[in-house]
Amino acid sequence: MPNILFLSENKGFVEDIKEQIGLYAKEYNVYNEYDPELVYELVMIDDMPHIINHIKESGVMVPIIYFQSNENKKVPFTPTDIVVKKPFVLDNFLDFLKSSIQMFDNSSDGSIGFNEYELLPSKKEIVNKKTNEVVKLTEKEVAVIKYLYKARGRIVSKNELLQEVWGYSPDSTTHTIETHIYRLRSKVENSENCSPIIVTEDGGYKIVY
């Protein structure tokens, strides 16, 4: 279930947009305040250019939708960011919203870089940038890496992975997780020259940045 962080000083605008998103996609969760325990698929920022750098420096590495009323403001955008100029057509914004949520899956700009690796979700491949070796992954292996990546270094428990990636109940066996992580490590960390991709810590997992 996608989580969206929406930062704005205009409470009325926030409520209007939240209502429209709820009507458009009930499965989207929109939050007004940053919660380090949550994994966000998208950040929306309303006309506050100074927040852009703060968000990027905090380690939130997801696409940004930026609502802009002043075209002269200099904002440090990246290829995965989208600018929505105010006033805007609601249908256009909702299209931008959908494309941004799917950014990591459906575009070359959605590649995920960490440590010495680059994940290409749409191709189901991970590239060792040091050796240029390309390793094919399964859909679930891609999903696990993406989820851990978006956790921004937070330790993710086995139960959380079971619920969020596999959709299993909390009382399901964790053997599935352990098997997938073991196979993923074996495929990617296949020589002494390869850096670790995922580490086990305090009964959970985190990606190595």
3-state secondary structure of 56: helix
In this prediction, residue 149 carries a pLDDT of 82
pLDDT digits (tens, 9 = 90+) for 24-68: 888 888 998 888 767 777 899 998 888 877 776 766 667 889 998
In this prediction, residue 173 carries a pLDDT of 67
Q: Which fold has domain 111-207?
A: Arc Repressor Mutant, subunit A (1.10.10)
User: Which amino acid makes up residue 46?
Assistant: D
pLDDT digits (tens, 9 = 90+) for 72-96: 566 666 666 788 888 999 998 998 8
Assess whether pLDDT exceeds 80 at residue 10. yes
**Is the N-terminal amide bond of 87 cis, ω within 30° of 0?**
yes
Element (H, E) at 157: strand 156-157
Instruction: List the beta bridge partners of residue 198.
Output: 207
In this prediction, residue 1 carries a pLDDT of 67
Identity of the highest mean pLDDT range in 112-126, 135-149, 168-182:
135-149
User: Which amino acid makes up residue 100?
Assistant: S
Assess whether pLDDT exceeds 80 at residue 139. yes
Instruction: Record the tokens describing residue 68, joined without a space.
Output: 């802009």
pLDDT digits (tens, 9 = 90+) for 159-195: 889 888 888 776 666 688 889 999 999 999 987 778 8
Comparing CA positions, the residue from 95, 106, 110 lying closest to residue 25 is 95
The DSSP line for 59-126 is T--S-EEEEES-TTS-----TT-EEEESS--HHHHHHHHHHHHTHHHHSGGG-EEETTEEEEGGGTEE
pTM score of the predicted model: 0.60
In this prediction, residue 115 carries a pLDDT of 85
**195 alpha-carbon distance from chain centroid:** 22
Q: Which fold has domain 3-106?
A: Rossmann fold (3.40.50)
In this prediction, residue 61 carries a pLDDT of 66
**Domains in the chain: boundaries:** 3-106, 111-207
In this prediction, residue 129 carries a pLDDT of 87
- Pick the more confident residue, 196 or 203: 196
Positive or negative, the CA dihedral 159, 204, 1, 38 is positive
Interatomic CA distance for residues 131 and 110, integer angstroms: 22
